[in-house]
């Protein structure tokens, strides 16, 4: 049995960090970012200051799909007791990273994460999937229309279930339903310029949600 099979959701990745994290203060607007490589990239090179200057915690893991995120949602989100969770997920499901996945399956996993968060009094920011018209690691798949369909679902679901819908897509998309070239080198992952577009959007979303809470 491989390590991946033993720990398929990668619960070990942040186990020590989570254990060492101080308990959340009632005065602290703690935010957890849950996601895949796009979320991880924010910390690695996109805008790491975001997680140094604010009470924000990055729990992105490269390559992950929504079922993996759902399995680690309690350990990497709920147990950290944030006021807000920012969920950015789904593109790797469309790529089939952990096997074939329908849009309904992706939607169900995201709904489950939202319900878990809200049951624990955590406000949810549902992020649009970023535009993508190709996968370098899955050249036979064109994800553009699936991304559009998922974002249409996320927007409606957020409106009907008291979530904030964070629209990255509109600011990053080109006229062929892919990512504007300067914002991505591979058509999926943002460049630093891409994160420079995304950062004020997520900060604005967090601020708006915090203001409504206070």
* DSSP annotation string for 156-206: HHHHHTT-EEE--HHHHB-TTSSB-GGGBSSSSSB-HHHHHHHHHHHHHHH
Provide the pLDDT for residue 5.
Answer: 66
Cβ–Cβ under 8 Å, residues 205 and 125: yes
Instruction: Tell whether the torsion through CA atoms of 101, 62, 75 and 161 is positive or negative.
Output: negative
Pairing assessment for the beta strands 164-166 and 123-127 based on DSSP bridges: parallel
Q: What is the pLDDT of residue 3?
A: 43
Q: What is the DSSP string of 19-86?
A: HHSPPPPTT---EEEEESHHHHHIIIII-GGGGTSSSEEEEE-TT--HHHHHHTHHHHTGGG--SEEE
- What's the pLDDT at 213? 78
User: Hey, what are 189's tokens?
Assistant: 């992952």
Helix (H) or strand (E) holding 127: strand 123-127
Residue 164 pLDDT? 98
pLDDT of residue 4: 58
pLDDT of the chain, 214 residues: tens digit per residue: 344 568 999 999 999 999 999 999 988 999 999 999 999 999 999 899 999 999 999 999 999 999 999 999 999 999 999 999 999 999 999 999 999 999 999 999 999 999 999 999 999 999 999 999 999 989 889 999 999 999 999 999 999 999 999 999 999 999 999 999 999 999 999 999 999 999 999 999 999 999 987 6
CA-atom Rg of the chain in angstroms: 16
Q: Report the DSSP beta bridge partners of residue 16.
A: none
| Half-sphere exposure (Cβ direction) of 32: Cα atoms closer than 13 Å | 28
Question: Would you state the CATH architecture of domain 29-213?
Answer: 3-Layer(aba) Sandwich (3.40)
pLDDT at residue 61, rounded to an integer:
98
């Amino acid at each position: 049995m491989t390590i991946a099979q033993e720990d398929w959701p990668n619960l070990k990745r942040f186990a020590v960090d989570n254990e060492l994290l101080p308990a959340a203060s009632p005065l602290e607007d703690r935010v957890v970012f849950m996601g895949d490589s796009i979320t991880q990239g924010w910390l690695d090179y996109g805008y790491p200051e975001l997680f140094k200057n604010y009470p924000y915690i990055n729990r992105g893991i490269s390559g992950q799909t929504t079922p993996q995120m759902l399995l680690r949602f309690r350990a990497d989100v709920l147990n950290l007791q944030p006021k807000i969770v920012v969920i950015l997920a789904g593109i790797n499901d469309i790529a089939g990273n952990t096997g074939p996945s329908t849009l309904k399956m992706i939607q169900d996993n995201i709904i489950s994460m939202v319900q878990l968060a809200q049951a624990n009094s955590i406000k949810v920011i549902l992020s649009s999937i970023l535009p993508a018209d190709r996968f370098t690691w899955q050249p036979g798949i064109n994800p553009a229309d699936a991304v559009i369909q998922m974002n249409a679902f996320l927007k409606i679901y957020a409106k009907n279930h008291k979530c904030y819908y964070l629209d990255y897509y509109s600011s990053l998309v080109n006229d062929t339903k892919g990512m504007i070239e300067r914002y991505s080198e591979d058509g999926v992952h943002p460049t630093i310029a891409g994160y420079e577009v995304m950062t004020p959007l997520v900060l604005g979303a967090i601020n708006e949600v915090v203001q409504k809470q206070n």
